[in-house]
Amino acid sequence: MKSIVIAMDGSPASHAALKVAAEWAALLDAKLRGIFIEDEQRFVSYPAGLAAEGGVPIAVPLSESAMAAMNATVKSEGNALEQAFKKACENLKVDSQFVRRRGDVNELLTREARAADLVVVGRRGFSEGTAGRQPGPTTETLIHQALRPVLVVPEKPRTGKGALFAYDGSRGVQRVLVPGTAMLVAKGEKGLAVSIGEEEGQEVALRETILTYWKNWNLKGDFIMVPRKDRVSTTLVELAREKGLGMIVMGAFGHNPLRELFFGSNTLEVLEKTDCPVLLMV
């Protein structure tokens, strides 16, 4: 990995993500690019009673005085984030660059993410409110759209050694296996592959595949099969905590959108329940 992008907005999760991103950049000898998006929605208003046909609200630019005040506020926020970014990078001697962009947050972050090898983002930003634990829509959009491994960092990430790989042989986990393994090797830590409730006879094939892959990387690891007694997300999160692991690695979202609509997404549930960073890839 030669380039890492960290999305910044000043939220608690964003500050935690900056620390994690800087540490990975130092460890991987990668360039860290800090991105602050000046959300275009902050510079418009939606007057009551002003709507297009169909009731869709119409955005109107702020008044001259309100626009000047908002520009000053956004500039101040950007300056504070840039200082925090530079300090984090200087402390770890990381090659870095901080940029500001104005426009659609999801669109611009996705574009920046696709120019990097790894994306780091806080679990929940200011625009979604910082009281909950559910991942915000910007984080979810990045996971879906970046087409890169995305490391989601909670507000107070738990430290630990090694990583839990939720391994079921699916496409998503096969894709994230590569960056997840590379990051673990860089740390010199062990991996634990976990498969939950697979059909009888699948254990041997899954074990052989991942342990052979890790052997090629000279990575020490183990594989365990766990019966399904609870929700998959609960089992993964509790197992990572019990083993003292510092990261969960998993494929993002399943391949049956209808099933996820009715039964929930293991991806979102893991992100909500865990206190350690989660590396994801669709």
> CA 39 to CA 216: how far, in whole Å?
44
Looking at the fold, whether 250 and 178 belong to one and the same domain comes out as: yes
pLDDT tens, residue by residue, 92-151: 999 999 999 999 999 999 999 999 999 999 999 887 776 778 899 999 999 999 999 999
With 50 as the cut, is the pLDDT of residue 164 above it? Answer: yes
With 60 as the cut, is the pLDDT of residue 260 above it? Answer: no
Q: Which helix (H) or strand (E) holds 100?
A: strand 96-103
Looking at the fold, whether 181 and 271 belong to one and the same domain comes out as: yes
pLDDT tens, residue by residue, 59-101: 899 999 999 999 999 999 999 999 999 999 999 999 999 999 9
* Averaged pLDDT for residues 208-229: 94
Interacting residues of 256 by C-beta distance below 8 A, sequence separation 6+: none
Looking at the fold, whether 266 and 129 belong to one and the same domain comes out as: no
The first and second tokens of residue 209, run together, are: 């595949």
Of the residues 153, 187, 208, the one at which a domain ends: 153
With 70 as the cut, is the pLDDT of residue 158 above it? Answer: yes
What pLDDT is attached to residue 198?
A: 65
Q: Where are the alpha helices (DSSP H) in 52-159?
A: 64-92, 105-113, 137-145
Is residue 64 one of the residues assigned to a domain? no
Is residue 61 one of the residues assigned to a domain? no
* Averaged pLDDT for residues 276-282: 95
Give the residue among 124, 206, 112 at the shortest CA–CA distance from 166: 206
Is residue 238 one of the residues assigned to a domain? yes
CATH number of the domain where residue 239 is located: 3.40.50.620
**In the chain, what is the greatest distance between 2 CA atoms, to the nearest angstrom?**
69
* Averaged pLDDT for residues 22-42: 97
Looking at the fold, whether 14 and 132 belong to one and the same domain comes out as: yes
Interacting residues of 219 by C-beta distance below 8 A, sequence separation 6+: 181, 184, 185, 190, 191
With 80 as the cut, is the pLDDT of residue 40 above it? Answer: yes
Looking at the fold, whether 108 and 196 belong to one and the same domain comes out as: no
Looking at the fold, whether 149 and 30 belong to one and the same domain comes out as: yes
Q: Which domain holds residue 102?
A: 3-38+74-153
Query: Would you say 151 and 279 are in contact if contact means Cβ atoms under 8 Å apart?
Result: yes
Give the residue among 178, 183, 174, 170 at the shortest CA–CA distance from 245: 183
Please tell me the total count of domains within the chain: 2
The 10 Å Cβ neighbour count of residue 116 is: 22
Of the residues 119, 153, 187, the one at which a domain ends: 153
